[in-house]
Amino acid sequence: MSENLDKILQANAAYAAEFGDKANLAMPPARGFAVLTCMDARLDPAKFAGLAEGDAHVIRNAGGRASDDAIRSLVISHKLLGTQEFFIVHHTDCGMETFTDDIMRGLLRQSLDTATIDENGWRDTGAGPGTTEGDQVAWLTFTDLAQSVRDDVLRVKTSPMVPDDLPVRGFIYDCKSGRLEEVV
Amino acid sequence: MSENLDKILQANAAYAAEFGDKANLAMPPARGFAVLTCMDARLDPAKFAGLAEGDAHVIRNAGGRASDDAIRSLVISHKLLGTQEFFIVHHTDCGMETFTDDIMRGLLRQSLDTATIDENGWRDTGAGPGTTEGDQVAWLTFTDLAQSVRDDVLRVKTSPMVPDDLPVRGFIYDCKSGRLEEVV
Protein backbone atom coordinates (compact mmCIF):
# COMPACT_ATOMS: atom_id res chain seq x y z
CA MET A 1 0.00 0.00 0.00
CA SER A 2 1.37 3.40 -0.92
CA GLU A 3 1.34 6.36 1.43
CA ASN A 4 -0.96 8.19 -1.02
CA LEU A 5 -3.37 5.27 -1.10
CA ASP A 6 -3.31 4.95 2.67
CA LYS A 7 -4.25 8.60 3.16
CA ILE A 8 -6.91 8.48 0.45
CA LEU A 9 -8.56 5.46 2.08
CA GLN A 10 -8.42 7.07 5.53
CA ALA A 11 -10.07 10.24 4.20
CA ASN A 12 -12.60 8.17 2.28
CA ALA A 13 -13.60 6.18 5.37
CA ALA A 14 -14.27 9.44 7.23
CA TYR A 15 -16.32 10.78 4.28
CA ALA A 16 -18.37 7.59 3.98
CA ALA A 17 -19.05 7.54 7.74
CA GLU A 18 -20.88 10.88 7.39
CA PHE A 19 -22.45 10.11 3.98
CA GLY A 20 -26.06 10.53 5.15
CA ASP A 21 -28.73 11.31 2.57
CA LYS A 22 -26.25 11.72 -0.26
CA ALA A 23 -27.14 8.07 -0.91
CA ASN A 24 -30.42 9.32 -2.39
CA LEU A 25 -28.97 11.71 -4.97
CA ALA A 26 -30.22 11.22 -8.52
CA MET A 27 -27.93 10.75 -11.51
CA PRO A 28 -29.01 13.90 -13.48
CA PRO A 29 -27.35 17.06 -12.13
CA ALA A 30 -29.85 18.87 -9.89
CA ARG A 31 -28.79 22.34 -11.01
CA GLY A 32 -28.72 21.42 -14.70
CA PHE A 33 -25.30 22.57 -15.82
CA ALA A 34 -21.79 21.29 -16.58
CA VAL A 35 -18.41 22.84 -15.81
CA LEU A 36 -15.33 22.18 -17.95
CA THR A 37 -12.10 23.18 -16.24
CA CYS A 38 -8.42 22.36 -15.82
CA MET A 39 -6.99 19.41 -13.87
CA ASP A 40 -4.69 21.86 -12.02
CA ALA A 41 -4.27 20.82 -8.39
CA ARG A 42 -4.94 24.35 -7.12
CA LEU A 43 -8.47 24.36 -8.54
CA ASP A 44 -11.38 22.92 -6.59
CA PRO A 45 -14.43 23.65 -8.76
CA ALA A 46 -16.86 22.46 -6.08
CA LYS A 47 -15.41 25.06 -3.74
CA PHE A 48 -14.75 27.94 -6.15
CA ALA A 49 -18.17 27.62 -7.80
CA GLY A 50 -20.17 26.47 -4.77
CA LEU A 51 -21.20 22.97 -5.91
CA ALA A 52 -22.60 20.33 -3.59
CA GLU A 53 -22.67 16.65 -4.49
CA GLY A 54 -25.43 16.12 -7.06
CA ASP A 55 -25.40 19.66 -8.44
CA ALA A 56 -23.41 19.67 -11.68
CA HIS A 57 -21.21 17.67 -14.01
CA VAL A 58 -17.53 18.52 -13.71
CA ILE A 59 -15.21 17.72 -16.62
CA ARG A 60 -11.48 18.32 -16.18
CA ASN A 61 -8.40 17.86 -18.34
CA ALA A 62 -5.03 19.51 -18.89
CA GLY A 63 -5.95 23.12 -19.66
CA GLY A 64 -9.73 22.72 -19.39
CA ARG A 65 -9.64 22.44 -23.17
CA ALA A 66 -12.66 21.71 -25.37
CA SER A 67 -11.01 18.55 -26.69
CA ASP A 68 -13.00 15.96 -28.59
CA ASP A 69 -13.25 14.01 -25.35
CA ALA A 70 -14.53 17.03 -23.41
CA ILE A 71 -17.16 17.51 -26.12
CA ARG A 72 -18.07 13.80 -25.85
CA SER A 73 -18.66 14.38 -22.14
CA LEU A 74 -20.59 17.64 -22.63
CA VAL A 75 -22.87 16.06 -25.24
CA ILE A 76 -23.62 13.13 -22.92
CA SER A 77 -24.25 15.67 -20.15
CA HIS A 78 -26.83 17.58 -22.19
CA LYS A 79 -28.35 14.90 -24.40
CA LEU A 80 -28.75 12.16 -21.78
CA LEU A 81 -28.59 13.90 -18.42
CA GLY A 82 -30.38 17.14 -19.07
CA THR A 83 -27.85 19.90 -18.50
CA GLN A 84 -28.83 23.10 -20.31
CA GLU A 85 -25.84 25.37 -19.72
CA PHE A 86 -22.05 24.95 -19.92
CA PHE A 87 -19.31 26.87 -18.09
CA ILE A 88 -15.70 26.71 -19.33
CA VAL A 89 -13.07 27.82 -16.82
CA HIS A 90 -9.36 28.23 -17.63
CA HIS A 91 -6.98 29.80 -15.10
CA THR A 92 -3.95 32.02 -14.57
CA ASP A 93 -0.48 30.44 -14.25
CA CYS A 94 -1.60 27.39 -16.25
CA GLY A 95 1.01 24.76 -17.05
CA MET A 96 -0.31 24.67 -20.62
CA GLU A 97 1.29 28.07 -21.22
CA THR A 98 4.77 26.79 -20.27
CA PHE A 99 5.41 24.48 -23.21
CA THR A 100 4.62 23.74 -26.86
CA ASP A 101 3.97 20.57 -28.84
CA ASP A 102 7.61 20.62 -30.00
CA ILE A 103 8.94 20.94 -26.45
CA MET A 104 6.75 18.10 -25.13
CA ARG A 105 7.59 15.87 -28.06
CA GLY A 106 11.31 16.55 -27.57
CA LEU A 107 11.12 15.83 -23.84
CA LEU A 108 9.27 12.56 -24.40
CA ARG A 109 11.81 11.49 -27.04
CA GLN A 110 14.54 11.83 -24.39
CA SER A 111 12.88 9.91 -21.54
CA LEU A 112 9.60 9.21 -19.77
CA ASP A 113 10.91 10.69 -16.51
CA THR A 114 9.68 13.96 -15.07
CA ALA A 115 11.42 16.98 -16.64
CA THR A 116 12.46 20.14 -14.81
CA ILE A 117 11.85 23.80 -15.63
CA ASP A 118 13.85 26.89 -14.75
CA GLU A 119 14.46 30.31 -16.26
CA ASN A 120 16.07 28.61 -19.27
CA GLY A 121 12.98 26.52 -19.95
CA TRP A 122 12.24 22.80 -19.78
CA ARG A 123 15.11 20.35 -19.39
CA ASP A 124 15.05 16.58 -19.41
CA THR A 125 17.41 14.85 -17.03
CA GLY A 126 15.84 11.41 -17.38
CA ALA A 127 17.78 8.28 -18.24
CA GLY A 128 15.70 7.18 -21.22
CA PRO A 129 14.59 5.41 -23.28
CA GLY A 130 12.03 7.90 -24.54
CA THR A 131 9.23 7.52 -27.06
CA THR A 132 8.16 9.10 -30.34
CA GLU A 133 4.52 8.45 -29.37
CA GLY A 134 4.15 12.07 -28.24
CA ASP A 135 4.70 13.19 -31.84
CA GLN A 136 1.18 11.96 -32.61
CA VAL A 137 -0.48 13.92 -29.79
CA ALA A 138 -1.90 17.44 -30.04
CA TRP A 139 -1.03 18.61 -26.53
CA LEU A 140 -3.50 21.55 -26.65
CA THR A 141 -1.13 24.15 -25.24
CA PHE A 142 -1.89 27.85 -25.57
CA THR A 143 -0.10 31.20 -25.39
CA ASP A 144 -3.02 33.63 -24.88
CA LEU A 145 -5.18 32.72 -21.89
CA ALA A 146 -8.27 34.81 -22.71
CA GLN A 147 -8.10 33.69 -26.35
CA SER A 148 -7.93 30.05 -25.24
CA VAL A 149 -11.22 30.56 -23.40
CA ARG A 150 -12.85 32.22 -26.40
CA ASP A 151 -11.55 29.48 -28.71
CA ASP A 152 -12.97 26.73 -26.51
CA VAL A 153 -16.35 28.42 -26.02
CA LEU A 154 -16.58 28.77 -29.80
CA ARG A 155 -15.55 25.18 -30.38
CA VAL A 156 -18.29 23.89 -28.07
CA LYS A 157 -20.92 26.33 -29.40
CA THR A 158 -20.23 25.35 -33.00
CA SER A 159 -20.17 21.59 -32.38
CA PRO A 160 -22.90 20.03 -34.56
CA MET A 161 -23.92 18.00 -31.49
CA VAL A 162 -24.59 21.03 -29.26
CA PRO A 163 -27.85 23.00 -29.72
CA ASP A 164 -27.31 26.54 -31.03
CA ASP A 165 -29.25 28.09 -28.15
CA LEU A 166 -27.45 26.29 -25.30
CA PRO A 167 -25.53 28.94 -23.33
CA VAL A 168 -21.77 28.38 -23.15
CA ARG A 169 -19.94 30.86 -20.92
CA GLY A 170 -16.19 31.28 -20.54
CA PHE A 171 -14.18 32.34 -17.47
CA ILE A 172 -10.70 32.79 -16.11
CA TYR A 173 -10.04 31.64 -12.54
CA ASP A 174 -7.32 33.67 -10.83
CA CYS A 175 -5.05 31.37 -8.82
CA LYS A 176 -3.84 34.32 -6.76
CA SER A 177 -7.27 35.52 -5.62
CA GLY A 178 -9.67 32.61 -6.14
CA ARG A 179 -11.85 34.90 -8.25
CA LEU A 180 -13.71 34.00 -11.45
CA GLU A 181 -13.71 36.61 -14.21
CA GLU A 182 -16.12 36.27 -17.13
CA VAL A 183 -14.43 36.35 -20.54
CA VAL A 184 -17.31 35.51 -22.87
CA MET B 1 -27.23 36.73 -16.31
CA SER B 2 -28.51 33.24 -15.72
CA GLU B 3 -29.61 31.97 -12.33
CA ASN B 4 -26.81 29.40 -12.45
CA LEU B 5 -24.24 32.08 -13.20
CA ASP B 6 -25.59 34.32 -10.46
CA LYS B 7 -25.27 31.59 -7.84
CA ILE B 8 -21.82 30.54 -9.06
CA LEU B 9 -20.55 34.12 -8.81
CA GLN B 10 -22.07 34.56 -5.34
CA ALA B 11 -20.40 31.37 -4.12
CA ASN B 12 -17.16 32.39 -5.82
CA ALA B 13 -17.12 35.78 -4.11
CA ALA B 14 -17.48 34.07 -0.72
CA TYR B 15 -14.68 31.61 -1.57
CA ALA B 16 -12.34 34.37 -2.78
CA ALA B 17 -13.03 36.43 0.35
CA GLU B 18 -11.55 33.62 2.48
CA PHE B 19 -8.81 32.65 0.01
CA GLY B 20 -5.92 33.29 2.40
CA ASP B 21 -2.62 31.55 1.77
CA LYS B 22 -3.95 29.46 -1.09
CA ALA B 23 -2.52 32.30 -3.20
CA ASN B 24 0.93 30.81 -2.51
CA LEU B 25 0.25 27.28 -3.76
CA ALA B 26 2.72 25.96 -6.33
CA MET B 27 1.71 24.53 -9.70
CA PRO B 28 3.07 20.97 -9.18
CA PRO B 29 0.71 18.83 -7.07
CA ALA B 30 2.05 18.74 -3.50
CA ARG B 31 1.09 15.10 -2.92
CA GLY B 32 2.44 13.94 -6.27
CA PHE B 33 -0.47 12.02 -7.75
CA ALA B 34 -3.33 12.34 -10.25
CA VAL B 35 -6.91 11.08 -10.03
CA LEU B 36 -8.94 10.18 -13.13
CA THR B 37 -12.66 9.90 -12.42
CA CYS B 38 -16.15 10.43 -13.82
CA MET B 39 -17.84 13.80 -14.37
CA ASP B 40 -20.89 12.47 -12.46
CA ALA B 41 -22.46 15.21 -10.34
CA ARG B 42 -22.65 12.98 -7.27
CA LEU B 43 -18.86 12.59 -7.12
CA ASP B 44 -16.69 15.13 -5.34
CA PRO B 45 -13.19 13.69 -5.55
CA ALA B 46 -11.74 16.36 -3.25
CA LYS B 47 -14.19 15.22 -0.58
CA PHE B 48 -14.26 11.47 -1.16
CA ALA B 49 -10.46 11.24 -1.41
CA GLY B 50 -9.55 14.01 1.04
CA LEU B 51 -7.82 16.46 -1.31
CA ALA B 52 -7.07 20.07 -0.42
CA GLU B 53 -6.30 22.69 -3.03
CA GLY B 54 -2.78 22.10 -4.32
CA ASP B 55 -2.67 18.37 -3.52
CA ALA B 56 -3.38 16.45 -6.74
CA HIS B 57 -4.39 16.69 -10.38
CA VAL B 58 -8.02 15.74 -10.99
CA ILE B 59 -9.06 14.63 -14.48
CA ARG B 60 -12.74 13.97 -15.15
CA ASN B 61 -14.79 12.90 -18.16
CA ALA B 62 -17.90 10.87 -18.90
CA GLY B 63 -17.15 7.52 -17.27
CA GLY B 64 -13.71 8.39 -15.93
CA ARG B 65 -12.41 6.62 -19.03
CA ALA B 66 -8.76 6.41 -20.06
CA SER B 67 -9.50 8.21 -23.32
CA ASP B 68 -6.69 9.60 -25.46
CA ASP B 69 -7.41 12.99 -23.88
CA ALA B 70 -7.21 11.59 -20.34
CA ILE B 71 -3.86 10.02 -21.26
CA ARG B 72 -2.73 13.39 -22.69
CA SER B 73 -3.54 14.91 -19.30
CA LEU B 74 -1.92 12.12 -17.27
CA VAL B 75 1.29 12.31 -19.32
CA ILE B 76 1.47 16.09 -18.79
CA SER B 77 0.82 15.46 -15.09
CA HIS B 78 3.73 13.04 -14.76
CA LYS B 79 6.20 14.31 -17.34
CA LEU B 80 5.95 18.04 -16.62
CA LEU B 81 4.43 18.32 -13.15
CA GLY B 82 5.98 15.42 -11.31
CA THR B 83 3.12 13.13 -10.32
CA GLN B 84 4.35 9.58 -9.70
CA GLU B 85 1.12 7.66 -9.09
CA PHE B 86 -2.29 7.52 -10.82
CA PHE B 87 -5.69 6.56 -9.37
CA ILE B 88 -8.57 5.67 -11.69
CA VAL B 89 -12.03 5.76 -10.08
CA HIS B 90 -15.24 4.61 -11.80
CA HIS B 91 -18.51 4.38 -9.86
CA THR B 92 -21.75 2.48 -9.35
CA ASP B 93 -24.93 3.61 -11.16
CA CYS B 94 -22.86 5.25 -13.92
CA GLY B 95 -24.74 6.76 -16.85
CA MET B 96 -22.23 5.11 -19.19
CA GLU B 97 -23.86 1.74 -18.44
CA THR B 98 -27.31 2.96 -19.59
CA PHE B 99 -26.61 3.31 -23.32
CA THR B 100 -24.51 2.09 -26.25
CA ASP B 101 -22.87 3.79 -29.22
CA ASP B 102 -25.84 2.75 -31.37
CA ILE B 103 -28.38 4.22 -28.92
CA MET B 104 -26.51 7.53 -28.62
CA ARG B 105 -26.02 7.80 -32.37
CA GLY B 106 -29.72 7.09 -32.95
CA LEU B 107 -30.80 9.68 -30.37
CA LEU B 108 -28.53 12.35 -31.87
CA ARG B 109 -29.84 11.59 -35.37
CA GLN B 110 -33.36 12.41 -34.11
CA SER B 111 -32.63 15.71 -32.32
CA LEU B 112 -30.12 17.57 -30.15
CA ASP B 113 -32.64 17.90 -27.31
CA THR B 114 -32.34 16.00 -24.04
CA ALA B 115 -33.73 12.47 -24.29
CA THR B 116 -35.66 10.65 -21.57
CA ILE B 117 -35.20 7.20 -20.07
CA ASP B 118 -37.71 4.86 -18.48
CA GLU B 119 -38.10 1.10 -18.06
CA ASN B 120 -38.37 0.78 -21.85
CA GLY B 121 -35.03 2.51 -22.36
CA TRP B 122 -34.02 5.78 -23.95
CA ARG B 123 -36.55 7.78 -25.96
CA ASP B 124 -36.09 10.97 -27.92
CA THR B 125 -38.97 13.41 -27.85
CA GLY B 126 -37.03 16.32 -29.35
CA ALA B 127 -38.18 18.28 -32.37
CA GLY B 128 -35.06 17.88 -34.47
CA PRO B 129 -33.13 18.40 -36.63
CA GLY B 130 -30.57 15.91 -35.39
CA THR B 131 -27.03 15.20 -36.55
CA THR B 132 -25.05 12.26 -37.88
CA GLU B 133 -21.93 13.69 -36.19
CA GLY B 134 -22.36 11.26 -33.27
CA ASP B 135 -21.72 8.37 -35.67
CA GLN B 136 -18.04 9.37 -35.68
CA VAL B 137 -17.70 9.37 -31.88
CA ALA B 138 -16.65 6.42 -29.70
CA TRP B 139 -18.85 7.18 -26.70
CA LEU B 140 -16.80 4.90 -24.37
CA THR B 141 -19.79 3.21 -22.75
CA PHE B 142 -19.36 -0.01 -20.78
CA THR B 143 -21.42 -2.93 -19.52
CA ASP B 144 -19.15 -4.40 -16.81
CA LEU B 145 -18.10 -1.83 -14.23
CA ALA B 146 -15.16 -3.71 -12.66
CA GLN B 147 -13.91 -4.72 -16.11
CA SER B 148 -14.08 -1.06 -17.25
CA VAL B 149 -11.72 -0.18 -14.39
CA ARG B 150 -9.32 -3.00 -15.25
CA ASP B 151 -9.43 -2.02 -18.95
CA ASP B 152 -8.60 1.60 -18.20
CA VAL B 153 -5.81 0.78 -15.73
CA LEU B 154 -4.30 -1.49 -18.38
CA ARG B 155 -4.67 1.15 -21.10
CA VAL B 156 -2.79 3.72 -19.01
CA LYS B 157 -0.15 1.24 -17.82
CA THR B 158 0.58 0.11 -21.38
CA SER B 159 0.72 3.60 -22.89
CA PRO B 160 4.18 4.05 -24.43
CA MET B 161 4.27 7.49 -22.77
CA VAL B 162 3.78 6.16 -19.20
CA PRO B 163 6.78 4.61 -17.37
CA ASP B 164 6.35 0.89 -16.70
CA ASP B 165 6.98 1.30 -12.99
CA LEU B 166 4.49 4.13 -12.36
CA PRO B 167 1.74 2.71 -10.12
CA VAL B 168 -1.77 2.90 -11.61
CA ARG B 169 -4.51 1.78 -9.23
CA GLY B 170 -8.18 1.23 -10.03
CA PHE B 171 -11.24 1.75 -7.82
CA ILE B 172 -15.02 1.71 -7.76
CA TYR B 173 -16.77 4.50 -5.83
CA ASP B 174 -20.11 3.40 -4.41
CA CYS B 175 -22.70 6.17 -4.86
CA LYS B 176 -24.85 4.62 -2.13
CA SER B 177 -22.19 4.58 0.58
CA GLY B 178 -19.47 7.01 -0.51
CA ARG B 179 -16.92 4.20 -0.17
CA LEU B 180 -13.98 3.46 -2.45
CA GLU B 181 -13.29 -0.19 -3.22
CA GLU B 182 -9.98 -1.19 -4.80
CA VAL B 183 -10.35 -3.22 -8.00
CA VAL B 184 -6.78 -3.45 -9.23
Q: Which domains does chain A have, with CATH numbers?
A: 23-99+139-182 (3.40.1050.10)
**Is the peptide bond preceding residue B28 cis, with omega within 30 degrees of 0?**
no
Q: Which site among A81, A93, A132, A184 would you substitute to test the B interface, given the most B Cβ atoms closer than 10 Å to its Cβ?
A: A81
Per the DSSP assignment, residues forming a β-bridge with A58 are A35
- Do A29 and B9 make contact, defined as CB atoms within 8 angstroms? no
B113 vs A contacts (CB less than 8 Å): 79, 163
pLDDT at B125: 86
Q: What is the mean pLDDT of residues A112-120?
A: 96
Identify the closest residue of chain B to A18 by CA–CA distance: B178
- Round to whole Å and give the CA distance between A153 and A60: 15
**C-beta of residue B73 within 8 angstroms of C-beta of residue A104:** no
- Round to whole Å and give the CA distance between A149 and B61: 19
Separation of CA B40 from chain center: 7
Position A128 confidence tier, pLDDT thresholds 50, 70, 90: confident
Among B49, B101, B63, B57, which Cα is nearest to B79's? B57
Low-confidence winner among A62-76, A114-128, A169-183, B101-115 (lowest mean pLDDT): A114-128
Among B112, B44, B69, which Cα is nearest to A80's? B112
pLDDT at A74 over 90: yes
- Do B175 and A23 make contact, defined as CB atoms within 8 angstroms? yes
B46-83 pLDDT tens trace: 999 999 999 999 999 999 999 999 999 999 999 999 99
Among candidates B85, B117, B139 on the partner chain, residue whose Cβ is nearest the Cβ of A72: B139
**C-beta of residue A102 within 8 angstroms of C-beta of residue A109:** no
- Do B59 and A60 make contact, defined as CB atoms within 8 angstroms? yes
ipTM more than 0.85?
Answer: yes
Q: What is the mean pLDDT of residues A152-166?
A: 98
pLDDT at A103 over 90: yes
Sign of CA dihedral B6, B9, B15, B16: negative
B105-156 pLDDT tens trace: 999 999 999 999 999 999 998 988 999 999 999 999 999 999 999 999 999 9
pLDDT at A1 over 70: no
Position B1 confidence tier, pLDDT thresholds 50, 70, 90: low
